[in-house]
Each structure stands twice: as structure tokens, then as C-alpha cells.
Chains A and B, each alone.
Chain A
């Protein structure tokens, strides 16, 4: 069953603005990851946040995790045209299944 759900499904902003994407999930997790997919390409890992972490930064990326609300957000600051892509959250659920469950993604378009 689909676990992660991203919101919004599509987002269009001007270059230089910040972009925020949200993800909700349903079960207990070990960690939550965000991936980027450029058109016609495979997914690329961006950042991982563990269940005992609340916030993590990597360059222009900021990820938050609220396990009580079972939600996460990805913030991209000072967006660039090259950030145009689909962004997916993926949850690594507890229970040792060793699999990621992906949301359906947010399509981000950065307008120059």
C-alpha cells in the first residue's frame, strides 16, 4: 500500500524563491529519505533523517521530521532552474523489511 503522500503534487515558483514540499506517512519508521528525479532519469538520494532527529541540513536543503504527526517537509532555499525535478519522500519502516516505500512525488518547476 502507498505510504508516503507528498503535498502539493505540483509546485511552480520563481527562481530565487524557496520551495517547500510536505510528506505524510502512516507507520513507524527508522528513517525518512528524500530523493530527486529529473525528467527521464533515475532517482538520486538527497538527504536522510533518522526517526530520532527533528531537523537536518544539507547545503540549500532543510528537512524536518515530526514523528508525532507522521510528517516531514523538504525546504529548498534560493531555488535555481536546475532544481526543476520531481521530489519523492521514502520511508524506511520499522520491522526489518529493508525496503523503502515511496510517495507519489511533488513536481517542482522553477521559472527563470
Chain B
């Protein structure tokens, strides 16, 4: 099936650990995003890559480091995890150009930091 997929779906870890979340899309899109959704359901953009190039980097602690090995993949590595990092992280993708900005979202990764 064509989709945006994320792994893992759930991630429970201790404070101070380092963890990664992976995202893959097979929609042929050239732009990918990471969003963070907090406990109040507020969804905030973190990063965006276009053709493997970082184009959006919101005010995010440098403990968060995205990596895009190719147009279909965007991973998120988080160092020294803190309690406040607990949230649901969503990957999304879109095809740039054409005057639209419709984004396709993955199912989310629920990160719990203990």
C-alpha cells in the first residue's frame, strides 16, 4: 500500500537515553516533515527536508537531529532525552510545486520518557 510509515509506533525509554524514530514514504514525494504533538493536541512543525536538503528548522533543541538519507526517508534522532520530550511525533510528506500543500501523515510515534 502507498503510505507514510513510521517505526516504532510506541517508544518508552528512560531520561538521558538516545533514541531514533524512522519514517519512510513511498508516495514519490520530495518533501518530508517532522511534527511534535503535545498532550494538548497542539501540532507543531519541527523540521522539513526537500530533496534531502534541510529547509525548515524551527526552534528545536539541538538534541534533535534529523537525517534524510534519500527523498523517501527522514529519520529523527534524539539525544539525552528529557521528560518534556514525551509526545507523539508525526512524519508527513508532500509533493512540492503545483500550488498545493496537502500533506500526508504517518500514524505517529508515541514517545514516553520516564
Which residues does chain A contribute within 8 Å of B43, judged by CB atoms?
43, 88, 102, 105
The stretch among A20-28, A57-65, A70-78, A92-100 that forms the contact with chain B is A92-100
Q: Which of A35, A50, A88, A102 has the most CB of B within 10 A?
A: A102
- Cα distance A105–B41 in the bound complex, in angstroms: 7
The stretch among B13-21, B63-71, B73-81, B103-111 that forms the contact with chain A is B103-111
Q: What count of chain B residues pass the 8 Å CB interface test?
A: 27
Interface presence of A112 (CB below 8 A): no
| A interface residue count range (under 10 / 10 to 19 / 20 to 34 / 35 or more) | 20 to 34
Contact between B102 and A42 (Cβ–Cβ < 8 Å)?
no
Which residues does chain A contribute within 8 Å of B45, judged by CB atoms?
99-101
Contact between B105 and A43 (Cβ–Cβ < 8 Å)?
yes
Interface of A is mostly: strand
- Asked, given contacts A31-B101, A92-B101, whether A98 binds B56 with beta carbons under 8 Å apart, the answer is yes
Interface presence of B51 (CB below 8 A): no
- B residues with a Cβ closer than 8 A to A are 4, 31, 33, 35, 40-45, 48, 50, 55-56, 90, 92, 96, 99-108
**Additional A-B contact list (4), CB under 8 Å, known A42-B4, A86-B41, A104-B42:** A31-B100, A44-B105, A102-B43, A105-B42
- A residues with a Cβ closer than 8 A to B are 2, 30-31, 33, 35, 37, 40-45, 48, 50, 86, 88, 92, 97-102, 104-105, 107
